[in-house]
């Protein structure tokens, strides 16, 4: 008697592997998917299974012709924060001026105050709900940035909360230190002193605590200058931390080229990135992360140079940018839809952007496609074509979600 070798095996699948197999979406029809110890063992034509299904795996099920993709990867979020800015949203739409909103305690300052004041458990509970929403829509890997603490203890509290979310949900959370998000209120008018604080005090402590996987900064006329950003990056590099950058969102500050110079994992936003920036990113292998929900919320009109990224072969990712000010979006699929509708990316580019290219933006080589050896993170969808993932706005499409070889059952009762 032979013992089953695999933990699970799905038959009668349609796989969107996102591998480069010559087919759109890396699709394989009449496919099977087997996994063991959290990794994919087989993703290919069912006719090529190396034996009888019942012998191959402990559990064998039919996927009833469902489409299966790799678990989605949200490579840019700020989902750990306390409170929200719905009141400010309402005030603005009722005609309040920026001064009135600031007077009422609005803006990033309010999020910083509430995040600092929140207990560990409050911050965790509020943020966990947002992570659950992303997971329910298919995201099995999520990047989470700090940047609403702006003092060492509060930044570490945010990053530990992010890690705790990953442990609670059993998903991968990549953490990013974003101390250079805004100037801390107590440093108002002393921006260079705050950059000192980030570089001399915070970054070494964050590196020592091993609580961040990467370092980010907001390089913009309303945030940190290229010179200040360079200082943050040089410090991060000396500490052995990878970098990424909020670059060229509202103006062309040369952020993309600066990110590329430091071998950044990604440069994100990029609406104003110029030709030289695109070329530098291509040469450095830096991923371009599209954040169309922030573009939408801010009612921006300048499109990122999608065609130039295509021409120069810069990989494009798509992410939610979940944050209380400019992107209160709790669905990566919705971001993919916006990337198509607003930025004219194709549905396949959007799906690659939320899987294989998002994995690259996080420096993760073990996921983003469905093939043997990759993590068994995948989603079984209630769709008849992969383009439906970007076509539908809202709704529940995920039937079942598997994370590291374990099922998360998240579907509506009708689909359960």
Contact pattern from residue 96 through residue 125 relative to Zn ion, giving x for each residue in contact according to CB under 5 A and a dash for the rest = ------------------------------
Closer CB to Zn ion, 67 or 233, in the complex = 233
By C-alpha distance, which of 62, 67, 73 is closest to 137?
73
Beta carbon of residue 143, minimum distance to Zn ion (angstroms, whole number):
10
Closer CB to Zn ion, 110 or 326, in the complex = 326
**Cα angle value 157/161/164 (rounded, 5°):** 140
Q: Does 321 bind Zn ion (CB under 5 A)?
A: yes
Closer CB to Zn ion, 321 or 382, in the complex = 321
Closer CB to Zn ion, 155 or 321, in the complex = 321
Q: Which residue is nearest to Zn ion (CB)?
A: 321
Closer CB to Zn ion, 220 or 321, in the complex = 321
Contact pattern from residue 276 through residue 315 relative to Zn ion, giving x for each residue in contact according to CB under 5 A and a dash for the rest = ----------------------------------------
Q: Whats the size of the chain, residue-wise?
A: 416
Beta carbon of residue 147, minimum distance to Zn ion (angstroms, whole number):
8
Number of residues that bind Zn ion (CB under 5 A): 1
Closer CB to Zn ion, 16 or 338, in the complex = 338
Residues 10-69 that bind Zn ion (CB under 5 A): none
Of the candidate spans 81-89, 90-98, 181-189, 318-326, the one that interacts with Zn ion by CB under 5 A turns out to be: 318-326
Beta carbon of residue 321, minimum distance to Zn ion (angstroms, whole number):
5
H or E element in which residue 74 lies: strand 72-74
Closer CB to Zn ion, 143 or 349, in the complex = 143
Beta carbon of residue 323, minimum distance to Zn ion (angstroms, whole number):
6
Q: Is the separation of the CB atoms in 350 and 291 below 8 Å?
A: no
Which token pair is 414? 């009708």
Which token pair is 109? 């300052």
Closer CB to Zn ion, 197 or 321, in the complex = 321
Return the C-alpha torsion angle 402, 406, 409, 411, nearest 10: 10
Distances from the Cα of 134 to the Cαs of 117, 129, 294, in angstroms? Answer: 25, 9, 17
Closer CB to Zn ion, 111 or 369, in the complex = 111
**Exposure pattern of 99-126 as b/e (b: 16+ CB <10 Å)?**
eebeeeebebbbbbebbbebeeeebbeb
By C-alpha distance, which of 413, 415, 410 is closest to 133?
410
Closer CB to Zn ion, 130 or 399, in the complex = 130
**Exposure pattern of 228-238 as b/e (b: 16+ CB <10 Å)?**
bbbbbbebbee
By C-alpha distance, which of 319, 272, 314, 273 is closest to 294?
319
By C-alpha distance, which of 135, 124, 114, 130 is closest to 158?
124
Beta carbon of residue 200, minimum distance to Zn ion (angstroms, whole number):
25
Q: Does 220 bind Zn ion (CB under 5 A)?
A: no
Of the candidate spans 7-15, 112-120, 316-324, 391-399, the one that interacts with Zn ion by CB under 5 A turns out to be: 316-324
Beta carbon of residue 230, minimum distance to Zn ion (angstroms, whole number):
19
Of the candidate spans 95-103, 110-118, 196-204, 319-327, the one that interacts with Zn ion by CB under 5 A turns out to be: 319-327
Q: Is the separation of the CB atoms in 168 and 130 below 8 Å?
A: no
Helix axis angle, 152-169 relative to 120-136, nearest 10°? 50
Of the candidate spans 38-46, 160-168, 320-328, 377-385, the one that interacts with Zn ion by CB under 5 A turns out to be: 320-328
Q: How many CB atoms lie within 10 A of CB 196?
A: 14
Beta carbon of residue 78, minimum distance to Zn ion (angstroms, whole number):
6
Beta carbon of residue 333, minimum distance to Zn ion (angstroms, whole number):
19
Residue 413 neighbours by CB under 8 Å, 6+ apart? none
Beta carbon of residue 258, minimum distance to Zn ion (angstroms, whole number):
17
Q: Which residues bind Zn ion (CB under 5 A)?
A: 321
């Amino acid at each position: 008697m032979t013992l089953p070798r695999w933990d699970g095996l799905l038959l009668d699948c349609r796989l969107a592997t996102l591998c480069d197999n010559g087919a759109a979406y890396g699709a394989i029809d009449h496919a099977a998917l087997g996994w063991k110890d959290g990794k994919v063992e087989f993703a290919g034509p069912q006719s090529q299974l190396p034996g009888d299904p019942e012998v191959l795996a402990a559990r064998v099920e039919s996927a009833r012709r469902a489409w299966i993709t790799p678990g989605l990867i949200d490579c840019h979020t700020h989902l750990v924060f306390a409170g929200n800015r719905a009141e400010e949203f309402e005030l603005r739409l009722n005609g309040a001026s920026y001064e009135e909103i600031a007077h009422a305690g609005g803006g990033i300052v309010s999020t910083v105050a509430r995040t600092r004041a929140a207990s560990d458990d409050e911050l965790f509970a509020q943020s966990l709900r947002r992570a659950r929403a992303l997971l329910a829509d298919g995201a099995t890997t999520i990047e989470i940035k700090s940047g609403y603490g702006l003092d060492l203890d509060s930044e570490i509290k945010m990053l530990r909360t992010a890690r705790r979310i990953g442990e609670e949900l059993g998903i991968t959370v990549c953490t990013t230190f974003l101390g250079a998000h805004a100037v801390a209120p107590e440093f108002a008018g002393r921006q260079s002193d705050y950059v000192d604080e980030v570089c001399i005090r915070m970054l070494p402590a964050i590196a020592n605590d091993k609580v961040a996987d990467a370092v980010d900064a907001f390089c913009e006329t309303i945030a940190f200058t290229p010179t200040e950003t360079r200082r943050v990056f040089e410090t991060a590099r000396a500490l052995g931390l990878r970098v990424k950058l909020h670059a060229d969102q509202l103006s062309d500050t040369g952020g993309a080229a600066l990110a590329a110079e430091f071998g950044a994992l990604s440069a994100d936003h990029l609406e104003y990135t110029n030709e030289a920036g695109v070329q530098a990113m291509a040469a450095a292998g830096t991923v371009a992360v599209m954040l169309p929900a922030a573009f939408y919320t801010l009612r921006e009109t300048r499109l990122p140079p999608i065609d130039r990224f295509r021409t120069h072969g810069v990989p494009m990712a798509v992410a939610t940018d979940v944050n209380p000010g400019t992107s209160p979006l709790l669905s990566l699929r919705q971001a993919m839809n916006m990337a198509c509708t607003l930025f004219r990316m194709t549905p396949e580019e959007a799906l690659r952007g939320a899987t294989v290219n998002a994995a690259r933006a996080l420096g993760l080589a073990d996921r983003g496609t469905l093939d043997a050896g990759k993590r068994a993170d995948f989603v079984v969808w209630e769709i008849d074509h992969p383009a439906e993932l970007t076509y539908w706005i809202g709704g529940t499409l995920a039937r079942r979600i598997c994370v590291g070889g374990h099922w998360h059952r998240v579907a509506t009762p009708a689909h359960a």
